[in-house]
Amino acid sequence: MRRARGAGAASLWVVAWSSLWFAGSAQPATAVELFDPAIAARAAALDDPRAATRAYLDAVPEARRAKTKAYALGNYLLDGIELVYSGLVLVALLATGLSARMRNRARRLVRFGPLQNAFYWVQFLILTALAAFPLTLYRSYFRERAYGLLTQVLPEWLFDQIKGLLVGCLLGALGVMALYGVVRRTPRSWWLWGSGVALLFLILSIAIAPVFIAPLFNKFTPVQDPALKDRILDMAHRHRVPADDVYQMDASRRTDRISAYVSGMLGTTRIVMFDTTLRRCTPAEIQMIVGHEMGHYVLDHVWKHIAFLGILIVLGFLFVRWGFERAIRRWPRMGIEGIADVAGLPLALLLISIFFVVMTPLTRSWIRVHEQDADDFGLMASREPDAAATTFLKLGEYRDLEPHPLVEALLYDHPSGRSRILNAMEWKRDHANE
């Protein structure tokens, strides 16, 4: 066992030093213009949607395209590495009996069953976060800094990671206590009742996140430009979005990316603009961005996503029920006492991860369709197709504008920039006389 622990520690440090080496070898990104405004202006004068789309895309310099494609390719590779690595960590917890020992430690600490599950979760989350830390450090800090997409210095980034870990410990402990309480009381139909508990926690997290969680990481203040605020609120009220103010978030403390969102439910809905969006985008682009985000709210995408995810969770829990019993019979040395034993959490997570990986093309296609619908709503609400095109070019700072169609179909949860610009130009043609 000591040898196994030593090998695990050695592997961890190999990954850590490899991450730091690669990070050090990645040179800071040089400033490259996102697109040529003169070429974009000429593209706006074209009537043919495909020709205009091509012209907009050609406004992006070759150096920028190469940089974004390299960033995207690295993300694909890192997604696969993280998937395999996290699976190996879960397998190691089971194969070494460490998960069972963490359960036993929780039992020694407290007598109350739900609190035992909570203590297990805290151990599990901290251990897996530490195991993943070298890869997280490389991907989310050093690599983002190298590509010019992260503005934080290391202490600030680490502080955010610690805050996220603490929030995960608290909310995850509550979720684990509730879920395993249901499993213990309904051993035969746990997959159905457990799906309900999972969905309930999802809805509650969406409702409380804007008010209680997001302010832990960013500062939110009302937008100071009264004319812009009035335009956005007028758009919101015309489309029955229940917002009485527009907030800006200090995203620039972390990134230079542009974005906005309409979040919350059950009375916590709010419109939020990144301060980077206010600084880097024109009023017309801002209207398109906010119109897109309002589209998600008006078209009930959140509730549709919850319903869709609910179906997947039920199917995923059925897969876990099928695989869990077979696995503990096949490998009894894991020390798992049954489905209601929290020591089996790594096995359950491994099985549910496999299920959702298989479902990835379906889930991303589902989201992509709704993103397309939100684009259409944004175009209708803002009536700014050329501003939409330049917005999508700016989003190309970290999204490959022209991926291979198969890559877009399998890996993209948004339409590509090429597809979105073409859609905007077709909308412009169809509404030219309005």
pTM of the predicted protein model: 0.85
pLDDT tens, N- to C-terminus, the chain (434 residues) = 333 334 333 333 333 333 333 333 333 333 446 888 899 899 999 999 999 999 999 999 999 999 999 999 999 999 999 999 999 999 999 999 999 999 999 999 998 989 999 999 999 999 999 999 999 999 999 999 999 899 999 999 999 999 999 999 999 999 999 999 999 999 889 999 999 999 999 888 888 888 888 899 999 999 988 999 999 999 988 888 888 889 999 999 999 899 998 877 666 778 999 999 999 999 999 999 999 999 999 999 989 999 999 999 999 999 999 999 999 999 999 999 999 999 999 999 999 999 999 999 999 999 999 999 999 999 999 999 999 999 999 998 888 999 999 999 988 999 999 999 999 999 999 998 87
Amino acid at 379: L
Phi, psi of 270 (to 5 degrees): -150, 150
Domain coordinates in residue numbering, the chain: 70-215+303-364
Instruction: Scan for tokens 């979760």, then name that residue.
Output: 121
Q: Are strands 270-274 and 260-263 parallel, antiparallel or unpaired?
A: antiparallel
Q: Give the distance from CA 162 to its chain's centroid.
A: 18
The β-bridge partners of 274 are 249
The residue among 62, 21, 20, 19 whose CA lies nearest residue 39 is 62
Report the distance separating Cα 3 and Cα 8, nearest Å.
8
Task: Using alpha carbons only, give the angle 273, 274, 280 rounded to the nearest 5 degrees.
Answer: 110
For 11-58, write each residue's pLDDT tens digit.
333 333 333 333 333 333 334 468 888 998 999 999 999 999 999 999
Q: Give the distance from CA 354 to its chain's centroid.
A: 18
Task: Using alpha carbons only, give the angle 200, 89, 333 rounded to the nearest 5 degrees.
Answer: 95
Count CA atoms within 13 Å of residue 25 on its CB side.
6
Report the distance separating Cα 18 and Cα 255, nearest Å.
25
**DSSP H/E element including 248:** strand 246-249
- 297 contacts 328 by C-beta, under 8 angstroms: no
- Residue 258: partners with Cβ closer than 8 Å, 6 or more residues away: 274, 276, 277, 280, 281, 289, 391, 394, 395
